[in-house]
Amino acid sequence: MATTTTAPPPRPNHTGLTAKSFDTSRGRLTDTAQRVVIYGPGGVGKSTLAALIKTVGLGNLFLDLESETDDLNVERIAAGENGIQNFEDLRAALRMLASSKYDVVTIDNMTKAEQLITQWVLANVRTQKGTKVTSLEGYGYGKGYTHVYETFLHLLGDLDALTRAGKHIILICHDVAATVPNPEGDDFLQYQPRLISTRNADIRARLKEWARHVLFVSLDKAVDSDGKATGGGTRTIYAQALPTHMAKSRFLTGPYDYPDPRQRHEEAAQVWRDIFRNGKKSG
């Protein structure tokens, strides 16, 4: 009896691909645009810390979405009628700045930027049935947050274009106490940037992956014998993660004391000198 065999599938033919020559390099790149996330509680001095980047000779423009810099002597594009009113305005400003004189672009803050993205989604994205909704839940379970995440990726693309143009990026966020799953024991609370974080739409995790440095600015606290938290008004900048907070850095260690810049200006700006001593040269 004859036997029948199945021929293997044909191998893909890649002969039509265009030949390309690739450059190789070795060693640490020191001329790289820095991508920095700063987060912490309200009033801790996040905007002030971003403004201190001028101490390393870099010009910084704030995209101030919530009037966070009103008391600072900085250059800004503010929110409002002649400034940034919506997500389209924010993207237009970022595209404009690729060829600007500024060395640094700071979004203050990303928590508000996420709200602008949500407003854009609700105004422009319809459900599968073609209807408009007034809340993210109206898209169905989890779908609204996925729309926000996918729209956020366009903003991240705009920021990547700025870094390719040689601009440093600072993104400021508020903080939130988030539950961290712990496969080795009990789950625990940790301070993290206050951004959407769901299974299929994790802006918080994506921003952490994107950044070269995630800095947590905290008010120093101690617990007394009665279990009450006390503090003397001092602050610390953390560049490495602990169970209490999310943080990361490609080369910073820290922590850094963060004194009042009006009294100890040079010490307050030490984190920027360390970033630009190891990262892209200033000036």
pLDDT at 283: 41
Report the DSSP pairing between strands 188-193 and 175-180: antiparallel
User: What contacts 27, CB < 8 A, 6 or more positions away?
Assistant: none
pLDDT 10s digit of each residue in the chain, 283 long? 555 556 666 666 666 667 788 888 776 655 689 999 999 999 999 999 999 999 999 999 999 999 999 999 999 999 988 899 999 999 999 999 999 999 999 999 999 999 999 999 999 999 988 899 999 999 998 899 999 999 999 999 999 999 999 999 999 999 999 999 888 888 899 999 999 999 889 999 999 999 999 999 999 876 555 545 555 678 999 999 999 999 999 899 989 999 988 888 889 999 999 999 865 444 4
What's the confidence (pLDDT) of residue 244?
94
Confidence at residue 110, expressed as pLDDT on a 0 to 100 scale: 96
**CB-based contacts of 124, cutoff 8 Å, min separation 6:** none
Q: Say how many CA atoms lie within 13 Å of 267 toward its Cβ.
A: 12
State CA 283 to chain mean position distance: 24
Question: What pLDDT is stored for residue 182 in this prediction?
Answer: 85
Global confidence as pTM: 0.86
pLDDT of 27 reads 60
Tell me how crowded residue 245 is: count the other CB atoms within 10 A of its CB.
19
Tokens of 250: 């490609």
pLDDT of residue 250: 86
